[in-house]
Amino acid sequence: MGNSSDSSQYISTRGGISPVSFCDAVMMGLATDGGLLVPARFPKVEADTLDGWRRLGYPELAFEVMRPFVGDALPPETLRQLVQASYATFDTADVVPIKTLDGKDLYVAELYHGPTLAFKDVALQFLGNLFAEILRRRGGRLNILGATSGDTGSAAIHGVRGKAGIEIFILYPEGRVSPLQERQMATVPDPNVHCVAIEGTFDDGQRVMKQIFNDLPFKEKNHLGAVNSVNWARILAQVVYYFWGAFRVQELSGSDAPVQVCVPTGNFGDIFAGYVACRMGAPIARLLLATNENDILSRFFNTGTYAKGTVRPTLSPSMDIQVASNFERYLYYRLGEDAGRTKTLMESFEQTGTLSLDGTDGTFAAGRGDTAATLATIKKYYERHGVLLDPHGAVGVAVAEANPLAGCQTLCLETAHPGKFPAAVAQALGDGSPARHEALEKLKELPLRKVILPPTIPVIEDYIVKTLAGQA
């Protein structure tokens, strides 16, 4: 194992902060110089340690993978308990079951066994427990404000519901998220959960949220914080299943060869966690990045140019992203950990919407799966192999089929339960589609708890203040 005092100290990709501890990095979210926080170095896992890790159950493995990144910021027993509590809410002891997809070279990692049936639970169940623990130690309160178009809001709510010292306010566009997504948020009965349906679009919600975060006196007075995808703890929790998945595929296939992992991508968070696992020494041969028609990332890996386009709505909405908020972390490593160049390139990207790099990185390959491929893949795997994919996972499987790696098995990450996207699955399979989940059916009977408000700063700020005062 490397020097854990380095791997548990966090610096900014733009070089403008002194190193901070794991807990400070978690509470900071975005680095105060506008960059993203990264560990000062990656711990290197030796071969005999890896062999020991193979035999661990998921929560034990999570503890071992995370420990060098936490260092002495938390006692080991505390970290162990946090991890155990976070994954006890999953509906299977394996947490992330790994299965064969076609009986041959393709495997699938079911990342959807958490409370909201999507992979964001893997990170947000842990982040919620971590926030509560840090507040318990340091005192103080945290009031989370987020704007969502669907998946992230419900995973964040389920991560912090009922936690002492935490309130959560989630803004979403009234009438513009699916009824199912709204129910996953607004049926949660815990009094620390506040769903705000705004009379406007997702962009209106985002705008109001950003403006409130920019109102620094308001933000500080009301202890506002975010749970966005750049929080280091979210990346860290995701590193675990890359080790887990590669071990299980090697076991199932009876081969020692390193594994290719195919990742359907939006904000580059999930696949950056895979990059960290590779740097640590996980038995992974290559990361295969999969995008839908919003292909800024697959274009980058195939041409070297990262150029912003306009967002096109697809059947895999959680990947309908043009500017990937975690891309800067990768850029920093690609530039040889040169914070000065990272800052210059990112600032110029913010002005021009484009940046170019020379050379390639053999750790990555990339491809794109469009709407036709998504639908055909859902149909094919259901009819031929009896496996029901969700549209995000299907993008990944389509790209995996087109990009085999000689001598390697491929593990495809399945990021959501198909029951969360019944309309897309029905479009692929026709009426009477089997895409349903009992937990989602049950929500239909529960009452909604929400307020409907216009997306203006004074109204939303006033609602936050009054709600917090009512609970003080």
Ligand X SMILES: *Cc1c(COP(=O)(O)O)cnc(C)c1O
By annotation, the residues acting in catalysis are: 120
Distance CA 454, CA 359 (A): 49
Q: Name the site residues for ligand X (rule: CB under 6 A).
A: 118-120, 151, 229, 264-270, 318-319, 392, 415-416
The residues, any chain, with a CB within 8 Å of residue 395's CB and separated by 6 or more, are: 264, 290, 291, 292, 316, 319, 369, 373, 374, 377
Question: What is the dihedral angle through the alpha carbons of 282, 326, 70, 133, rounded to the nearest 10 degrees?
Answer: -130
Q: Structure tokens of 308?
A: 């912003």
Q: Which is nearer to ligand X, 269 or 283 (CB)?
A: 269
User: Which amino acid, residue 418?
Assistant: P
DSSP 30: B
Q: Which is nearer to ligand X, 268 or 382 (CB)?
A: 268
In the complex, minimum distance from the CB of residue 240 to ligand X, in angstroms, rounded to a whole number: 15
Q: Which is nearer to ligand X, 121 or 167 (CB)?
A: 121
Q: Which is nearer to ligand X, 73 or 271 (CB)?
A: 271
Distance CA 326, CA 82 (A): 25
Secondary structure (DSSP) of 159-186: HHTT-TTEEEEEEEETTTS-HHHHHHHH
In the complex, minimum distance from the CB of residue 234 to ligand X, in angstroms, rounded to a whole number: 8
If 0-12 CB within 10 Å is exposed, 13-18 middle and 19+ buried, where does residue 240 land? buried
In the complex, minimum distance from the CB of residue 433 to ligand X, in angstroms, rounded to a whole number: 18
- C-alpha 350, offset from chain centre: 23
In the complex, minimum distance from the CB of residue 32 to ligand X, in angstroms, rounded to a whole number: 23
In the complex, minimum distance from the CB of residue 326 to ligand X, in angstroms, rounded to a whole number: 7
Q: Which is nearer to ligand X, 20 or 101 (CB)?
A: 101
Q: What does the chain come to in residues?
A: 472
